[in-house]
């Protein structure tokens, strides 16, 4: 199988490496050509100096896998690809796009006779070594064409990947996956903060998280990563208390509202990330103001000690 990958960042670049090592011929393009040259030299990837050149180097049915930021970058790239492709060719979006966008793009591309697959991709920077969990949406015909590549990218040919449904279902499944991830991360963070707060026990968080990795109900890869990180230090003084949120956490909360399904854990985990991002703290200032107004409670001045 031969395919192109557009976007060779941390995820796209490692995916290209894994595909090349698994016997898939990859034509790669990236806006910065340094990574293109590096992958060509190290992995035997076929380099391309432009998207058009990448497409030209493919044989029918041509498969172009996009690994770009969601939103306008992905939208524009798909728009630019349409005149370069022919009926029967396929575009795969492996980024974190909104599933509504994927449904729209699938219908749009179908009008041009171009197949589309939305591939929810999990595995992060460890995917090259461990494989990627792939949740893909599309027609059975498109899934059949991509199956050889999916088997190479996944942890094993028979697991870690699935054609979950029609166009849009792959990114929808990944969206819910990320919402669950938010809740799991928040629970671990709160629990470990409580352990650290019990100063009279002088608990070693590295020891405890390592302990939980073995036969505990909460054992998981997320716990594995946390335990390994805590071995390097537990004060975390070099890490700012700011947690970014991806679009998928927000989309999951919106989906819960749209469906009328209670999802308090995932939604509150998202809200806690918002709280960490609030450098102004205006709501907390108002709370202090109100406590002073009704109860005469002292207002702490900026810069005062804890």
Strand partners, 117: 92
Q: At CA 194, angle to CA 238 and CA 266, rounded to 5?
A: 85
Q: How many CA atoms lie within 13 A of 297 on its CB side?
A: 11
The first and second tokens of residue 58, run together, are 């493919």
The CA distances from residue 120 to 49, 56, 117, 211, in Å, are: 27, 27, 10, 32
Cβ atoms within 10 Å, residue 276: 13
If one counts every other C-beta atom within 10 angstroms of the C-beta of residue 1, the result is 16
- Which residue among the candidates 174, 190, 198, 200 is catalytic per the annotation? 174
**Kind plus residue range of the DSSP H or E element containing 257:** helix 247-259
Phi-psi region of 296 (alpha: psi -120 to 50; beta: other; left: phi over 0): left
174 belongs to the catalytic site: yes
- What is the Cα gyration radius of the chain? 23
User: Of 151, 181, 248, 255, which residue is the catalytic one?
Assistant: 181
Work out the angle at residue 7's Cα, subtended by the Cα atoms of residues 5 and 11, and round it to the nearest 5 degrees.
90
- CA separation for the pair 134, 120 (Å, rounded): 6
Residues 60-98 as b/e (b if ≥16 CB within 10 A, e otherwise) read ebbbbbbbbebeeebbebbeebeeebeeebbbbbbbbbb
Based on the residue annotation, tell me whether 53 is a catalytic residue of this protein: no
CB 77 within 8 A of CB 6: yes
Residue with tokens 């990574």: 35
Residues labelled catalytic: 174, 181
């Amino acid at each position: 199988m031969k395919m192109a990958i557009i976007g060779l960042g941390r995820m796209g670049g490692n995916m290209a490496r894994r595909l090349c090592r698994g016997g898939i011929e990859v034509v790669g393009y990236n806006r910065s050509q340094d990574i293109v040259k590096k992958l060509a030299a190290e992995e035997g990837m076929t380099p391309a100096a432009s998207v058009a050149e990448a497409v030209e180097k493919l044989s029918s049915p041509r498969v172009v896998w996009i690994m770009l930021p969601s939103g306008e970058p992905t939208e524009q790239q798909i728009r630019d690809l349409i005149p370069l492709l022919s009926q029967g060719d396929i575009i795969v979006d492996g980024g974190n796009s909104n599933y509504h966008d994927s449904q729209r793009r699938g219908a749009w591309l179908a009008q041009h006779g171009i197949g589309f697959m939305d591939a929810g991709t999990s595995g992060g920077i460890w995917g090259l070594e461990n494989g990627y969990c792939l949740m893909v949406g599309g027609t059975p015909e498109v899934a059949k064409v991509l199956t050889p590549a999916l088997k190479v990218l996944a942890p094993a040919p028979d697991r870690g990947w699935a054609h979950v449904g029609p166009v849009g279902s792959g990114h929808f499944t990944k969206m819910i996956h990320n919402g669950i991830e938010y809740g799991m991360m928040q629970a671990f963070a709160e629990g470990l903060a409580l352990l650290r707060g019990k100063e009279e026990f002088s608990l070693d968080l590295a020891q405890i998280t390592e302990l939980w990795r073995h036969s505990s109900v909460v054992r998981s890869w997320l716990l594995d990563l946390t335990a390994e990180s805590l071995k390097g230090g537990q004060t975390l003084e070099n890490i700012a208390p700011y947690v970014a949120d991806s679009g998928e956490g927000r989309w999951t909360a919106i989906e819960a509202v749209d469906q009328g399904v209670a999802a308090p854990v995932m939604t509150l985990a998202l809200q806690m990330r918002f709280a960490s991002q609030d450098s102004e703290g205006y709501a907390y200032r108002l709370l202090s103001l109100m406590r002073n107004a009704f109860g005469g409670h002292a207002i702490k001045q900026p810069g005062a000690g804890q």
